[in-house]
Structure 1
Amino acid sequence: MGNISSHSKHKRSAIKIQEFNQIESEQERQEKLLDFYLSTSIDSIDRTHMYHFIRAFLFQSNFSSPIEDKLIEGGCKVLDIGCGAGTWLLDLSSKYKYSSFFGIDIKSVFPQKIKPSNLEFIEADVTNGLSFRDNEFDFTHVENMSLIFTPDQWDLVLSELVRVTKPGGYIEIGGRRNCYVGDGPIFRKISDTLWTSCSKRNVDTNLIYNLDSRLKLQQNIGKVHRFEKDLIIGPNGGKIGIVYQDLTFAYYTSEMAIKSLSEEIGISEEEYKNMVEKDFIEELKQTSPECVHVRFWTQKQF
């Protein structure tokens, strides 16, 4: 997002002050909305931790690439892009003590001091490119970034993942399909509003589910493997469905979600809260919305 004031200097005389203020206000709103997706609040961090363990349970592993023997052996160098609170890296670095782990995020949500000695966090914007050398990592990873990267940014991220991965090393990407099968009208209304708000930042929320097609266009990679796991959100999905319902509910009732999504729908914050806290929860008892999670992995060629 650029600086609207500097970008518009040559047009300022042709734009009414009122129109200019509307443009500026919209940019500010989108920047605040992006802050919501990159939230550093305690509640957001807790949701990140919980979501990590849900994904690990679904796939029965923290990753699908065949890299575990090298991790156990030691000397393996791992990079996680968009690491957030660092849950994935904290889990792996504690288990594979003889390998090295690096996490990058635009915000320092990750722990600064209390962490394993084989783990390092770096505050940086990956969309500006990575500062690492070519062929530096044995395993590169990115997950849960479907609401953040635009299509152009995804192309850059993929090319950077390939660049910094060693020949013979592995690249893995994870996410979920951002639409649901079997959802009711309330859930669909809320989730569609979220996808619409993302599209205003030029984020294609459906891209992640078919990102393997873009990964295949990168140079020096082998076969792209795809794994899918699904769950039912709500009580009809068993214990994991209830846990995921609680996670979804916590997300949609966060302060920023209430403010931004109620505005996007065009209702009051109180009406929005009633819809989520009453109608949405009641609807989940009657429906079985399916959420599909996906992982892609490939090996960089020699």
Structure 2
Amino acid sequence: MGINNSKLLKSKKSKSKQIPSHDLLNKEKESTYYLSNDINDVDRLHIHHFFKKFIFQNNFSSPIEDKLIKGDCKVLDVGCGPGTWLLELSNTYTNSQFFGFDMTPIYPQEIKPNNLNFIEGNIFNGLPFSDNEFDFVHMESMTLIFTRDQWNFVLSELIRVTKSGGFIEVVEPYIISDEAGPIFKKLHGGIYNSSLKRNVDMKLIRNLDSIFESHSNIRKVHRDERKTIIGPNGDKIGSVYQQIFVSFCTTEMAIESLSNELGISEEKFRIMAEYDVIEEFKQKKPEVDHIRFWTQKI
């Protein structure tokens, strides 16, 4: 987990406190299942980006667009994955500067706009940037990664590197299984219980704004929510999220982990995730709620 030797980092040094090394080693080990970087997983991340853009009808909720258009706006995406969000924004707002940060280098190494740079590193070492450096700091899809204490640490880092008057935005999904059938509930329960064993509670996402607001130097935390029915009962966009969910459950690492969690064979799990739950979606209406939490640094 190194940091590259970009010009940006040569003169920058993080002032953050690091998570203890034993916690970092455990975190890297636990993250392996959720950080598959085969081509199917990268495709899923791309699709999820465009799904979110469609349901929100934009790429962000923070009131930062005027500054992006004007230029001289510095943007950081933490946990940027394949860089889909950044690639779209850097091509749209060509006078602003964009930086992606992730522990797994699945982002483009060479073919990218001149105003976009990617940096490899681990958030649990602290962000390798100075205080008050960015106008807009963005992060998404970390529900299955961070424990509550780690959320506090990460949020403090996002706030630290944001300029006074700049914006911080965090985007996370939350499954609502009230109208779900038994197969979906079993699959989702496996994901939830396996996460709890790593001290990761997916339910805290519903109240992430209260964790955010426990930090100083920020204004009111806003929340922008969009609910979608998963499957064909949610029209075409519901079918897209069905594809995202099934793709997540059928990576090799997910099949191994979740079949063990549910106490069934990998073959039986594949049938459940690739066929049974899709048939069930035709009759049921489980929902996914995507929430954008955004605030401004004082």
The TM-score normalised by the length of structure 1 is 0.88
Distance 2:283 2:119 in 1: 45
CA distance in structure 2 between the partners assigned to 1:195 and 1:284 by the alignment: 19
Aligned residue among 131, 143, 146 for 1:146: 143
Secondary structure at 1:183 match in 2: coil
Aligned-pair distance for 1:238? Answer: 0.3
Per-residue CA deviations over 1:58-99 (Å, capped at 9, x if unaligned) read 110100000000000000000111111111111111100000
- Greater gyration radius: 1
Q: How many equivalent residue pairs?
A: 277
Aligned residues of 2:175 and 2:287 also touching (Cα < 8 A): no
Structure 1 runs not aligned, ≥5 long: 5-26
For residues 200 and 151 of structure 1, what CA distance do their matches in structure 2 show? 13
Aligned position for 1:225: 222
- The answer for the alignment partner of 1:127 in structure 2 is 124
How far does residue 36 in structure 1 lie from its aligned partner after superposition? 2.2
* Superposition deviation, residue 124 in structure 1: 0.5
Identify which of 35, 56, 62 aligns with 1:38.
35
8 A contact 1:175–1:209 mirrored in 2: no
After TM superposition, what 4+ stretches of structure 1 lie above 2 angstroms from structure 2?
1-4, 178-181
CA shift, 1:209, in A, is: 2.2
- SS in structure 2 opposite 1:286? coil
How does 1:263-278 map onto structure 2 within 5 Å? 263-278=260-275
Deviation for aligned residue 1:277: 2.4
Matching of residue 294 in structure 1 with residue 263 in structure 2: no
How big is each residue's C-alpha offset from its partner over 1:184-209, in whole Å with a ceiling of 9 and x where there is no partner?
11001001101111111111111222
Deviation at 1:113, TM superposition (A): 0.5
Percent identity over the alignment is 56
Is 2:175 aligned against 1:161? no
Q: Does 1:193 align with 2:190?
A: yes
What amino acid is the match of 1:155?
N
CA distance in 2, matches of 1:203, 1:108: 24
Structure with more relative contact order (C-alpha pairs < 8 Å, separation 6 or more): 2
Q: How does 1:4-23 map to 2 (within 5 A)?
A: none
SS in 2 for 1:102: strand
> Contact 2:132 / 2:162 at 8 angstroms: preserved in 1?
yes
| Structure 1 residue 103 corresponds to structure 2 residue 107 | no
> What is the deviation of 1:108?
0.7
Deviates more, 1:92-101 or 1:172-181: 172-181
* Aligned Cα root-mean-square deviation (Å): 1.8
Conserved 8 A contact 1:72-1:99 = yes
